[in-house]
Amino acid sequence: MYIHHWYGNSSTDPDSASWDYSVISIYDNNLDADGYKNDTNIKHTTTHEVGHSIGLAHTTDTYNKSTSLMTAGDEADRYINSPSAYDKNQLKSIWGN
């Protein structure tokens, strides 16, 4: 899986420059190899990666990890498929209301 951010016609790091659009690629073989190839995990992974594409990082706040869509890896609750109040507040801090 990877996210590719684009500024004009060249790839860019979203933390160092503005970007026009992003491409999210989720590979079926990776999901299968990691044992995540089912509807619940596909929805979670896709929504999580969309979160990255709009600027959200992994949740590091211990209090919010259990409910956040953006919790990383094995700590993630894969039944969470929509942003939590914490995730929404992170978005507001990036993009405003």
Say what the pTM is: 0.77
pLDDT digits (tens, 9 = 90+) for 5-32: 444 555 555 556 666 677 788 888 878 8
Task: List CB contacts of 16: < 8 A, sequence separation 6 or more.
Answer: none
pLDDT band at 54 (very low <50, low <70, confident <90, very high): confident
Q: In Å, what is the CA distance from 95 to each residue of 39, 54, 81, 91? A: 30, 9, 21, 6
Q: Is the pLDDT of residue 60 over 50?
A: yes
| Cα–Cα distance list, 69 to 11, 42, 49, 59 (Å) | 26, 13, 10, 8
